[in-house]
Chains A and B, each alone.
Chain A
Amino acid sequence: MTNFTRKLNFAIVLIFLIIISLVVLYPLVYVLSAAVSPGSSIATLSIAPFADGFTLDHFRFLFFESNYPIWFRNTLFIAVTTSLGTVIIASLGAYIFSRFRFAFKKGMLLSMLILQIFPSFVGMIAVFIVVLRIGLFDNLWGLILVYLAMNIPFNVWLVKGYMDTIPKSMDEAARIDGASHFRTWLTIIMPIAKPIITFLAITSFVAPWMDFIFPNLLLRSPENQTLALGLFTFVLDDTRNEFTRFAAGSVTVAIPFIIAFVLTQKMLLKTLGGAVKE
């Protein structure tokens, strides 16, 4: 290859990458610019980002005049509780599926695998009635219970796959030393399974932030709204397009997400890839 064709190749690749980058960045930059632009609807915004001036009004509105702080607090509570609960329940279940032999084990594992292919809102009318009947309608705990239940099938499988790779001699040694099953699980298995537990904690923490369907189904009163419900009301209706407020709210959620993702991406992908190969 001559020097010239190599340079030409390089230039073509570079231009291609720059064009793709622009396409990738365009909507993100536009949202960022909308969040600090005056005005409300996307119809009034200039087509060039950051050309309308700069204002923090939308953030001021969100933080001080809207229910944003309440939405945020509710969502944080739901996410933390769901994450903790999922970690405890799913890792206990996975440990038992990995280490014990008992009746119906195969059937239970297969049915969990089939259950997790269903988007859980297929049964949403029934979920609604169940939650209503146990008196947890319009209550954050009702939503948390539903999330926990939905998380279990897939995550028990995931964690079980990981725990299967931990040698059984580890827990047998602990058992010989007189440790109970509970202690073995807590002090031997859990520390070794830390990567998959971290993955579990992160994914189950992240999911509630942007779920719209179940909060919409199970929560009613203004003091029980979540971030997703609140933000979507700004744009779900075309006649009341408050794109800039939505953009400001989205930015406050998306930026922590991006930072967290960039920090953990290697671990997340490795875990997911590894879990599937098992």
Chain B
Amino acid sequence: MSLSLDGNGKSKRAILITSLLFMGLAHILFFKQYIKGAFFALVQIAMIAFLPVVIPAIHGLITLGEHRPELSVRYRDHSMFMMIEGVAVLAVIFIFLCIYFISVRSAQKTYKDYCENGRLSNNKTSIKEVFNQSFAIFGLAPSVLLVVFFVVVPLVFAALVAFTNYSSPHHIPPGNTVDWVGMDNFVSLFGGQTLWTSALLQVAIWTVVWAAAATFTCYFGGMIMAVIMKDFKVKFAPFFRSIFILPYAVPAVISMLVWRNLLNGHFGAINRTLQHFGIIEGMIPWLGTEAMVRFTVVMVNLWAGFPYFMLLTMGTMTAINQDLFEQARIDGASKWRLFRHITFPLVTYQTMPLIIMSFTHNINNFGAIFFLTGGQPAVAHSPISGATGADILITWIYRLTMETLQYHFAAVLAVMIFIILAPFAITIFVRTKSFREGEL
């Protein structure tokens, strides 16, 4: 059965109402698009069928369970399971709303086409054609589902935990429940608890200093090597080049753990070597004091990171027009001036996006800090905060999560990282070619 349609736009309301009433209804009643309509209807039916699951899950997300000490631990409400299920259900509802929106819009669009053309476009309904039309849906489904349930849901969960008291020792499920506490954690970290505030301040400043120092040392180190190698027009250059790229090829975690052993303050090979040659008297605590460890991580990171920028600069330099150099040389410019006024500005301009990416990477450079320093050195606030003198935000999050079980503060830090880094991501997005050309 199919209802008659008015070609002059008068059925617009009827279509809007039917499509809003039940997904796919308009497609089936008016447009004879049975397969499409059935698909939408199935989605709606599935959603209704899941309502008995959805409502308790949302309720659980709101209450996070009741504390009932009279029950044995096995039967108590597990706040975190309730929270994750609530978030997952919200994700499903969100996907449903998107499909709902698409179905209503599709109905309106089909009607608009009908008004313009005066007839319904032919619906080929062979299986092959249906498969072809739904290619986009089936092709995108695995990406969307995986990202939603293994990336988005965990991140939303992490953000929500920032507003709960999920922490050791009093609020760890299943023994106890977790409660919503509003902005309390933010208040504690930003001034409420002096020790935590000073720890946060220290770690946050060091995170930015570290990322800037790590990026700049590697960038300039790499560029200097590239320029020297280019000037060094002899047959040895390729030989040195292949030595210099080795640190980049070794898995970073291995090199960090090796350096940690070499730099060990008590029995490390480097201290023993320096002693052997009489350069130092006692042992240098490379990783033992706050100032030393910060110097050491930047240096070791330079060792591991300069080859990347060296290769990059070499690649970019070959693209510089050689006439520029010729001209300058005829005018009597020195090598330093050539570098200062031609090579440096051109290469920096070309590699700017990669420098920005490297900076954001270093903000989150877990491996360089965590595996190299291995939980040293303790500072004044360490017994409470769990942060070491070398920790950046991301390694502190890891310690708060895995070692001291202060999930609520870890979540606040995650939100902070988001606030620091989101502008970078949006900048990159706006700069992409497809965005600028208005394709999106």
Which residues on A are within 8 Å of B, measured CB to CB?
13-14, 16-17, 20-21, 23-25, 27-28, 30-31, 41-43, 45, 47, 89-90, 92-93, 95-96, 100, 102-106, 108-127, 129-130, 133, 145-146, 148-150, 152-153, 156, 161, 164, 180-182, 185, 209-210, 212-213, 228, 232, 235-236, 238, 241, 243, 246-247, 250, 253-254, 257-258, 261-262, 265, 269-270, 273, 276-278
Query: Is B146 an interface residue, CB under 8 A from the partner?
Result: yes
Rank and list the top 4 A-B pairs by shortest CB-CB distance, nearest first.
A123-B154, A43-B267, A149-B150, A126-B154
- In Å, the complex CA distance between A197 and B394 comes to 31
Query: Is B397 an interface residue, CB under 8 A from the partner?
Result: yes
Query: Is B254 an interface residue, CB under 8 A from the partner?
Result: yes
Do B139 and A115 touch (CB < 8 A)?
no
Binds A, one of B20-28, B192-200, B236-244: B236-244
Do B84 and A182 touch (CB < 8 A)?
no
Do A180 and B154 touch (CB < 8 A)?
no
Of B143, B434, B440, the contact of A152 (CB 8 Å cutoff): B143
Do A228 and B253 touch (CB < 8 A)?
yes
Sample of 17 more A-B contacts, CB < 8 Å, known A113-B428, A130-B154, A261-B249: A24-B303, A47-B273, A89-B143, A92-B143, A93-B139, A95-B139, A104-B98, A118-B417, A121-B366, A122-B155, A130-B150, A133-B81, A164-B434, A185-B139, A210-B251, A258-B249, A276-B353
Q: Which residues from 352 to 392 on chain B have a C-beta closer than 8 Å to any C-beta of chain A?
A: 353-354, 357, 360, 364, 366, 371, 374
- In Å, the complex CA distance between A20 and B307 comes to 12
Do B257 and A257 touch (CB < 8 A)?
no
User: Closest A-chain residue to B249, C-beta based?
Assistant: A261
- In Å, the complex CA distance between A103 and B150 comes to 23
A278-B432 contact given A122-B155, A148-B146, CB 8 Å threshold:
yes
User: Closest B-chain residue to A27, C-beta based?
Assistant: B258
A253-B254 contact given A118-B155, A150-B151, A180-B128, CB 8 Å threshold:
yes
A276-B374 contact given A113-B429, A120-B151, A254-B251, CB 8 Å threshold:
no
Do B251 and A253 touch (CB < 8 A)?
yes
User: Closest B-chain residue to A44, C-beta based?
Assistant: B267
A181-B135 contact given A25-B246, A42-B261, A126-B154, CB 8 Å threshold:
yes
- In Å, the complex CA distance between A121 and B135 comes to 32
Do B81 and A241 touch (CB < 8 A)?
no
Could you list some 25 contacts between A and B, CB below 8 A? Answer: A20-B225, A24-B247, A31-B258, A42-B269, A93-B140, A93-B142, A105-B440, A109-B429, A115-B151, A118-B155, A121-B398, A122-B414, A123-B151, A123-B155, A125-B407, A126-B84, A130-B153, A130-B154, A181-B136, A212-B253, A241-B261, A250-B254, A257-B249, A265-B245, A265-B249
Chain B residues whose CB sits within 8 angstroms of the CB of A145 once the complex forms = 146, 150
Q: How would residues 188 to 226 of chain B score, 1 for a CB under 8 Å from any chain A CB and 0 otherwise?
A: 000000000000000000000000000000000000010
DSSP majority for the A interface?
A: helix
Chain B residues whose CB sits within 8 angstroms of the CB of A156 once the complex forms = 143
Interface size on B, residues (CB 8 A): 98
Do A109 and B140 touch (CB < 8 A)?
no
Chain B residues whose CB sits within 8 angstroms of the CB of A236 once the complex forms = 374
Chain A residues whose CB sits within 8 angstroms of the CB of B269 once the complex forms = 30, 42, 45, 47
User: Closest B-chain residue to A250, C-beta based?
Assistant: B254
User: Closest B-chain residue to A216, C-beta based?
Assistant: B402
Chain A residues whose CB sits within 8 angstroms of the CB of B417 once the complex forms = 118, 122
Do B424 and A117 touch (CB < 8 A)?
yes
Do A153 and B267 touch (CB < 8 A)?
no
Chain A residues whose CB sits within 8 angstroms of the CB of B421 once the complex forms = 117-118
Do B250 and A257 touch (CB < 8 A)?
yes
User: Closest A-chain residue to B307, C-beta based?
Assistant: A24
Do A161 and B243 touch (CB < 8 A)?
no
User: Closest A-chain residue to B433, C-beta based?
Assistant: A278
Do B312 and A273 touch (CB < 8 A)?
yes
Of B80, B242, B315, the contact of A273 (CB 8 Å cutoff): B315
Chain A residues whose CB sits within 8 angstroms of the CB of B428 once the complex forms = 113
Chain A residues whose CB sits within 8 angstroms of the CB of B371 once the complex forms = 212
Do B253 and A123 touch (CB < 8 A)?
no
Do A235 and B254 touch (CB < 8 A)?
no
Of B236, B276, B401, the contact of A47 (CB 8 Å cutoff): B276
Query: Is B92 an interface residue, CB under 8 A from the partner?
Result: no
A47-B272 contact given A30-B262, A105-B440, A269-B315, CB 8 Å threshold:
yes
Q: Which residues from 295 to 337 on chain B have a C-beta closer than 8 Å to any C-beta of chain A?
A: 303, 311-312, 315
A262-B153 contact given A118-B418, A250-B258, CB 8 Å threshold:
no
Do A129 and B84 touch (CB < 8 A)?
yes
Query: Is B185 an interface residue, CB under 8 A from the partner?
Result: no
Do A17 and B228 touch (CB < 8 A)?
yes
Do A27 and B311 touch (CB < 8 A)?
no
Query: Is B42 an interface residue, CB under 8 A from the partner?
Result: no
Do B418 and A89 touch (CB < 8 A)?
no
Chain B residues whose CB sits within 8 angstroms of the CB of A30 once the complex forms = 258, 262, 269
- What is the distance, in angstroms, from B175's C-beta to the closest C-beta of chain A? 16
Q: How would residues 274 to 300 of chain B score, 1 for a CB under 8 Å from any chain A CB and 0 otherwise?
A: 001000000000000000000000000
Chain A residues whose CB sits within 8 angstroms of the CB of B50 once the complex forms = none
Chain B residues whose CB sits within 8 angstroms of the CB of A164 once the complex forms = 433-434, 439
Q: How would residues 127 to 162 of chain B score, 1 for a CB under 8 Å from any chain A CB and 0 otherwise?
A: 010011001100110111011011111110110010
Chain A residues whose CB sits within 8 angstroms of the CB of B131 once the complex forms = 180, 182
User: Closest A-chain residue to B160, C-beta based?
Assistant: A126
Interface centre among B85, B243, B354 (most CB of A within 10 A): B243
- In Å, the complex CA distance between A236 and B261 comes to 10
